[in-house]
């Protein structure tokens, strides 16, 4: 009796129904996996199966069908569940969009939050595509609206699930949009499962670096290569008595390319003894694509290529591009927000000649 009670307390039981059983290959098994480790398996009988494994709210288990032998046509037979104790009922299907959680309070909560977050991101992408030619103020208004809506959904969920996989996953969705102070306020209420997570630690480190390179702070130096392959440092340009607009970009980055017309106008109108544009090509392999993109788009201003070296982006807390930073003649960071868009040239001219 004690053993039975213990199993009920510490076990997640996944009861599944095959949604499209008529195409489920005869003889296949369904597996419950922790990563690549198989915890349980079950034959499908009358379109149903049952799997058991240890419950653990800090884990998500994978449900897969005959994953070791399945042909490429069936690679979508998989879904995930939170390992909450008790019974979790699912509908298992050949396409992930047709899979569903039917029972299990935490799994259903998790599923609902994910759906709401994804709906916001999809809606935002649609609105952003319509604002491609809009000014910076309109884009920032959309951005701020999205952040507000995400926080209203996510923060209560994280507070309620401050040491399990739900809280970790939801925080991971929004941490990019939070300030260092907001992150620390959340983490001080969380357990070590979230606090010590590698992705959370890395993102917080980005926020620390971003704060340390906020407006008014001195520049942080780094090294790279010129397009010709020669050694070069940021300090070869910054702190030399000129204003420097540094553009962190990559050849594959669509938003970076959309910003190019504004950078070209700024470069053409303002570059000289008092000002220069400096491109910094990041996250771009061996720099080959950076060089081709520079030539193709007639980027005639100086460049520093850093390839896969993440030192520059980590030093400045940059986790998305394009990022533009305006350095003052003495090398201090003068401005790193509000520089993008059609008003770029006007904004910088007013700063230089104020």
Does the residue 217 lie in any domain? no
Whether the predicted pLDDT of 129 surpasses 80: no
Quick one: pLDDT at residue 5? 37
Look up the pTM and report it: 0.78
- Asked if residue 266 belongs to a domain, the reply is yes
Q: How confident is the model at residue 6 (pLDDT cuts 50, 70, 90)?
A: very low
- pLDDT digits 0-9 by tens, 58-70: 999 999 998 777 6
Residue 77 and residue 112 in one domain: no
Cβ atoms of 95 and 61 within 8 Å: the answer is: no
CB 82 within 8 A of CB 165: yes
Q: What's the pLDDT band for 121 if we cut at 50, 70, 90?
A: confident
The share of the chain scoring above pLDDT 90, in percent, equals 76
Same domain, 230 and 111: no
The answer on pLDDT for 4 being more than 50 is no
Cβ atoms of 63 and 78 closer than 8 Å: yes
What is residue 79's predicted lDDT score, i.e. its pLDDT? 93
Q: pLDDT value at position 262? A: 95
Examine the pLDDT at 7 and tell me if it is beyond 50: no
Boundary residue ending a domain (76, 103, 130): 103
Percent residues over pLDDT 70 in the chain: 94
- Indicate if 189 and 243 belong to the same structural domain: no
**Are 322 and 287 within one domain?**
yes
Give the number of domains in the chain.
3
Distance CA 304, CA 244 (A): 13
- Asked if residues 342 and 268 have their Cβ atoms less than 8 Å apart, the reply is no
In a shared domain, residues 87 and 138: no
Domain boundary, last residue among 59, 88, 103: 103
pLDDT digits (tens, 9 = 90+) for 167-224: 999 999 899 889 999 999 999 999 999 999 999 999 999 999 999 999 999 999 999 9
Same domain, 130 and 183: yes
The pLDDT assigned to 270 comes to 96
CATH number of the domain that residue 94 is part of: 2.60.40.10
Alpha helices in 73-179 (DSSP H): 105-130, 136-160, 165-174
Q: Residue 71 has what pLDDT?
A: 64
User: Domain check: are 93 and 127 in the same one?
Assistant: no
Same domain, 266 and 347: yes
Query: What is the per-residue pLDDT across 223-265, written as a single tens digit (0 to 9) for each?
Result: 999 999 999 999 999 999 999 999 999 999 999 999 999 999 9
State pLDDT tens for residues 139-173.
778 888 888 999 999 999 999 999 999 999 999 98
DSSP 207-249: HHHHHHTSTTSBP---EEE-TTS-EEEGGGTTTSSSEEEEEEE
Which domain does 12 fall in, by range?
Answer: 2-103
Q: Are 312 and 207 contained in the same domain?
A: no
Higher-scoring residue by pLDDT: 8, 231: 231
pLDDT at res. 290 = 95
User: For residue range 17-29, what is the model confidence (pLDDT) as tens digits?
Assistant: 999 878 888 888 9
* DSSP-derived 3-state class of residue 132: coil
Residue 232 sits in the same domain as residue 115: no
Q: What is the mean pLDDT of residues 275-295?
A: 95
Whole-number average pLDDT of the chain: 91
346, 227: one domain: yes
155 with 247, same domain: the answer is no
């Amino acid at each position: 009796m004690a053993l039975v009670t213990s199993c009920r307390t510490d076990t997640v039981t996944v009861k599944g129904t095959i949604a499209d059983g008529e195409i489920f290959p005869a003889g296949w098994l369904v597996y419950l996996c922790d990563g690549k480790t198989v915890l349980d398996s079950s034959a499908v009988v009358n379109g149903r199966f049952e799997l058991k494994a240890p419950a653990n709210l800090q884990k998500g288990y994978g449900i897969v069908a005959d994953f070791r032998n399945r042909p490429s046509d069936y690679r979508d037979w998989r879904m995930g569940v939170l390992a909450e104790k008790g019974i979790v009922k699912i509908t298992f299907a050949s396409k992930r969009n047709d899979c569903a959680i039917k029972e299990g309070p935490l799994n259903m909560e998790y599923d609902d939050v994910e759906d709401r977050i994804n709906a916001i991101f999809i809606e935002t992408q649609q609105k952003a595509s319509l604002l491609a030619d809009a000014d910076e103020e309109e884009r920032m208004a959309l951005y701020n609206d999205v952040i507000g809506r995400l926080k209203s959904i996510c923060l209560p969920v994280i507070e309620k699930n401050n040491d399990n996989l739900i809280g970790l996953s939801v925080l991971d969705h929004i941490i990019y949009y939070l300030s260092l102070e907001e992150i620390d306020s959340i983490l001080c209420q969380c357990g070590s499962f979230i606090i010590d997570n590698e992705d959370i630690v890395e993102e917080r480190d980005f926020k620390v670096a971003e704060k340390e390179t906020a407006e008014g702070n001195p520049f942080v130096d780094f090294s790279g290569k010129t397009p010709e392959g020669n050694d070069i440092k940021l300090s070869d340009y910054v702190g030399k008595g000129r204003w420097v607009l540094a553009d962190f970009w990559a050849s594959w980055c669509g938003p970076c390319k959309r910003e190019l017309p504004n950078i070209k106008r700024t470069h053409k109108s303002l570059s000289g003894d008092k000002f220069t544009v400096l491109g910094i090509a990041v996250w771009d392999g061996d720099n080959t694509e950076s060089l081709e993109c520079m030539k193709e788009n007639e980027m005639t201003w100086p460049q520093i290529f850093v390839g896969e070296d993440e030192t520059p982006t980590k030093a400045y807390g940059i986790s998305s591009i394009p990022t533009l930073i305006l350095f003052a003649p003495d090398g201090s960071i003068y401005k790193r927000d509000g520089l993008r868009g059609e008003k770029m040239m006007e904004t910088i001219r007013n700063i230089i000649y104020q």
